[in-house]
Amino acid sequence: MVSISSNNSDVRSKASTSYPKNSIDWLMRLIAFDTVSRHSNLALIKDVQAYCEHLGLTVDLTFNEAKNKANLFVTVPAGKNADIVNGGLVLSGHTDVVPVDGQAWTSEPFTATIRGSRLYGRGSCDMKGFIACALTLLPEAAQLSKSGQLRRPLHLALSFDEEVGCLGAPLILADLKARNITPDYCIVGEPTNMTMVVAHKGIAVYRCRVHGKSAHSSLTPQGVNAISYASRLVGFVDDLAEQLSQRDDNDGLFDVPYSTLSVGTIQGGTATNIVPNLCEFTFDYRNLPHMTQDDILLPIQAKVAELSAQMQTRAPETGIELQQQESVPAMTDDDNAELQHLIAALVEDDKRHKVAYATEGGQFTNAGIPTIICGPGSIEQAHKADEYVELSEIERCDGFLQRLLQSCR
């Protein structure tokens, strides 16, 4: 068993003088940074920044409003000309991880531990494994650039807050647009077992608040039952979900071939003998790339208006409000045929996969950058206790990125 502790001051104190030489060591170092989304990721970002500057590369950071989180973007320029930043390939990964609260880990989640053929730790597959492989590649890429052998730029983009709505990547993309940097392609290294994912669904999350009117339960005509009206709307959402599954334009290449709609949380009421004046529920919509949020939002808004009107005939102050909480665009495969051909050759597998989970890939494609999802590890291990990545997956990713780098020569 091999481990590295998140409390190990060596990880940070040697940032300017000592760096890992391989992807496993890099992954162990990255896991030691507790970058759960509710925390700052600046310690990790500053460590990677120092490493990149040690290699002679120029780093650009973009921050959130509170300045306690940052994205990192760095370019290994083509040839010997440091001004060549357009074109090339982006390797993209998010630095944040999901919480470990309430999970029964058999080892410390922020202490990377090797047991047998697996490396355990929060973020090991989602998605610090890919970042570790990309960082290991940088010295060779920088050397090829200095010797004039790098034909097109190689970029690395590290984001914050992917796990809570893909909040960081839009700042990277806005910064690239402002600096007139236009990459040719992007590879997002989410865990795919090193297979090629060419498209994914989008996500929209909504909160519905039903405002009724309280009354004693023996005098129900004097009240407006928020739970009862919420249940009608929940039933409508369920019926709409069933309609989505029966559409004739669904896509069989997705693991779930239709857009989905599901209620996730609900709460309301204070006591059995009180007509409830408030009920809240949330639902999420995961749309196929060719569909939009309006496909479900417009009928739901119409139902909200209908139910609100019924409520207000009994009490004008009642009604229903609908709020969007998250929105992550789908990733299409419309313009990435050339990239698919390249990646298929590099992973030595031409199978195209489409998935129901969302990534930052949709934001890159919306910015006009053809994108593929391909990275080490299995999505089935993500977000769980004892998250792990197979060591063989890291080795496969190293080989893939080596071949990718050679394609840039």
- Same domain, yes or no: 82 and 174: yes
Domain count within the chain: 2
Q: Tens digits of per-residue pLDDT, 379-397?
A: 999 999 999 999 999 999 9
pTM of the model: 0.90
51 and 193 both lie in a single domain = yes
Q: What is the DSSP string of 71-101?
A: EEEEEE-STT-TT--SSSEEEEEE--B---T
Instruction: Give the pair of three-digit tokens for residue 280.
Output: 């809240």
Share of the chain above pLDDT 70, in %: 95
Please say if the pLDDT value at position 350 is more than 80.
Answer: yes
CATH code for the domain in which residue 347 is found: 3.40.630.10
Q: Cα angle at 179 between 175 and 185, to 5 degrees?
A: 75
Residue 221 sits in the same domain as residue 134: no
Active site residues: 96, 162
Question: Is there a single domain that holds both residue 152 and residue 212?
Answer: no
Query: Do 310 and 235 fall within a single domain?
Result: yes
Task: For residue range 155-198, list pLDDT tens digits in order.
Answer: 999 999 999 999 999 999 999 999 999 999 999 999 999 999 99
Name the residue with tokens 């609100």.
308
Three-class secondary structure of residue 21 per DSSP? coil
Residues 100 and 385 sit within 8 Å (Cβ to Cβ)? yes
pLDDT of residue 334: 85
Alpha-carbon distances of 348 from 91, 340, 399, rounded to whole Å: 19, 12, 11
* 218 and 190 in a common domain: no
pLDDT exceeds cutoff 60 at 363: yes
Same domain, 34 and 166: yes
Cβ(87)–Cβ(369) below 8 Å: no
Tokens at 117, concatenated? 């053929």
C-alpha–C-alpha distance, residues 114 and 93, integer Å = 23
Are 179 and 303 members of one domain?
A: no
Rounded CA separation 216/135 (Å): 64
**What would the pLDDT profile of 89-139 be if each residue is shown by its tens digit?**
999 999 999 999 999 999 999 999 999 999 999 999 999 999 999 999 999
Domain boundary among 328, 361, 386: 328
Cα–Cα–Cα angle for 78, 61, 397, rounded to 5 degrees: 55
Q: What does the pLDDT read at residue 355?
A: 94
CB 151 within 8 A of CB 408: yes
Question: Six-digit token pair at 398?
Answer: 């190293």
- On whether the CB atoms of residues 141 and 405 are closer than 8 A, the answer is yes
For the chain, the helix, strand and coil percentages under 3-state DSSP, each to the nearest 5: 35, 25, 40
Is 191 found in the same domain as 59? yes
- Token readout for 212 is 């009724």
Q: Which pLDDT score, from 0 to 100, does residue 85 have?
A: 75
Mean pLDDT rounded to a whole number for the chain: 93
Asked if residue 232 and residue 130 are part of one domain, the reply reads no
Residues 215 and 196 placed together within one structural domain of the fold: no
Tens digit of pLDDT for each residue in 26-61?
999 999 999 999 999 999 999 999 999 999 999 999
Q: Which one of 328, 356, 390 terminates a domain?
A: 328
Tell me the average pLDDT across 228-253.
97
Of 275, 295, 328, the one marking the end of a domain is: 328
Q: Which domain holds residue 389?
A: 2-200+330-407
pLDDT at 83 (0 to 100): 63
Whether 76 and 158 share a structural domain: yes
